[in-house]
Structure 1
Amino acid sequence: MAFIDTLVMGKPAWMWAIFMTIVVILLAVDLGLFHRKAREIGVRESLLLSAFYITIGLAFGAWVWLNIGPTSGKEYLTGFLVEKTLSMDNIFVMSLIFTYFGIPRIYQHRVLFYGILGVILLRGIVIALGAWLVASFHWVLYIFALLLIFTGIKMLLPGDDEPDIEENFALRIMRRFLRITPKLHGQRFFIRQPDDKTGKILTWVTPLFVAMILIEIVDVIFALDSIPAIFAITTDTFVVYTSNIFAILGLRALYFALAAVIDRFSYLKPALAMILVFIGSKIFVADLAGWEKFPSSVSLSVTIALIAGGILYSLWRTQRDPEPPSPNDKVQNAKPGDV
């Protein structure tokens, strides 16, 4: 029984056990109960699932507040909100990937579900590395802060940052070294079929598998923003990891709810850019002011204000302006199912 009180990355093992138990239950219920068979997820169901995951994430934040302290609770909520907002760009890129490969909605949940499993592991590795760097070299926090400020300013500058799926380096590598079927084969990632030239039965990967790998890579790229952001908010590894994972767990449901209307929130991106600049700047402000730490209440309040402002302004502008094009309409040279 002494094990449950053993410190693991600064927190008792029982806290980590509670967190991992909740995550495993959520994943098991998602796959085993709600989505045992491939089916299309409607907007209403997506909104309900999103509300459910957000409620679970906020409830865990309340638990952190009560069991670790108000400061940790505020830092968790700030990190949770920032990660949720960052996922908006993630959703847009996912939409481009699915459109490029012509993957229907009925199979998209399978890709996102197994993608989330990979994300949980990858984020754990990246966060553990980040925690080690911060603990060993405190000045790394200033590098993270400068990276956030630079990224935020870059996001505010005009320019088309839409990724080109066709010219993606990872896709070119997979095309070179993997046997990829030209068309989908239901919800299967791998199939056995004869080679066109030799007639030998070989294992092939399907476009569904390729899309999943690209989504994993996208998450690693987005982690370059979100991980420095959360470490600039708090260096508590437990708060960093749990806030990230609870924000990501609801990403699948949020995708189906927002993929078709993501451009309605086009003015959320400047708000996110300002959040990144603010989070990066507050480390330097705290040093100049002689504070041990920037007030967590201020961080949470500013983050909520910027996100709410970005959402409300986006909704107001899109009511006045003509309907913007869907993200799927922006994909150029996309050949559904053709890789």
Structure 2
Amino acid sequence: MSPAEPRLLVEVSRRVHAKLTLDASLSLGSECGVLFGSSGAGKTTLLRLIAGLETPDRGRIRLGDDVLYDSDAKLDRPLRRRGIGMIFQDDLLFPHMNVAANIRYGLKGRGRAEADARLAEIASLCGVEALLDRQPMTLSGGERQRVGLARALAPRPRLLLCDEPFSALDVMNRHILVERLKTIQQVEAVPILYVTHSPAEAVALGTQLFWVSEGRIVARGNPLDVLASSHVKGTTRLNGIRNLIRGRLEPPDQAGESRLRLSLDEQTVLVIPAVSDHPPGAELTVEVRADDILLGCRAVSGLSARNVIPGVVERLVPHGDETEVLVQTGSVTWISSVVNSAVDLLGLEPGTAVNMIIKARSCRVLDAGSVEE
């Protein structure tokens, strides 16, 4: 089933309190959808209704071919029979169980061989293989959330609901876990509905964004398009958009080299600051702010910037006085923030050949595959 084909269909209404009635409808395919909006808008309530933790006043919820809730048919499938995984800001790990036992909790009823195989598979995917014998109290915040994610995914849920699961972590760990969750979604092909207040998380993770305001979904679509749309309040929401780029570290050109080369694909190499203790071949994730990427339409030389990367404009997303320019280089799509006057001056449009100019020091190394403690 493609992302465009709905796996989840929701049409629900619930009076939350005197000043808020949730009245929302959405559809989601095998992709990650983001619920975005201010606190108190109804995002968490919507997740709880889908999960079966609360009951709508009326409406219908369908997951795949199964109807989970239908007020007209008086059908309300209990939480344990919905096949839905959930992760929250509080990981809710069982303190008396080690990591392996926490993950196995969702595999009750499976044969020993099947449970062992799934434990090994999901531990590897979530990066917790080295933690299986540890107790929850000995784990860092990032480790606990990876374990919570592994436990939620172990029984192969048909839908994963995420209520700001990484918001208590520092910026680096949030980015690392968002990147890991993106990979997991692709591998497991599980639909994800993810609540966040972060535009950077929404753009990095989501294929659809649902803007929730006062209990209603007021806009939906590609995260960049929705966040930039003029009919949605707060056109500064795109400030601070970041690119998360993953690649493989190449050997240094010479001993003591102060810059390293990160191979992103067969066509693209990014020069980054030297990082210690990362051997050639290590996989790194690098953050580059969209407003740290300069664009040029002619050959450039004599620059102090170490990266001049050719690419092609894929599309433009204007908002206020700025435009987000999506540039394709090999298998990587970058986002560059430029002022509108620069778009006109350079004649930027889809298909325009450009050079991206990026200082090495603008490339912030986030991890080396599993560094997140």
TM range (shorter): under 0.3
The structure that is helix-richer by fraction is 1
Structure having the higher strand fraction is: 2
TM-score by length of 1: 0.25
The two structures have a TM-score, normalised by structure 2, of 0.23
Highest relative contact order (Cα 8 Å, sep 6+), 1 or 2?
Answer: 1
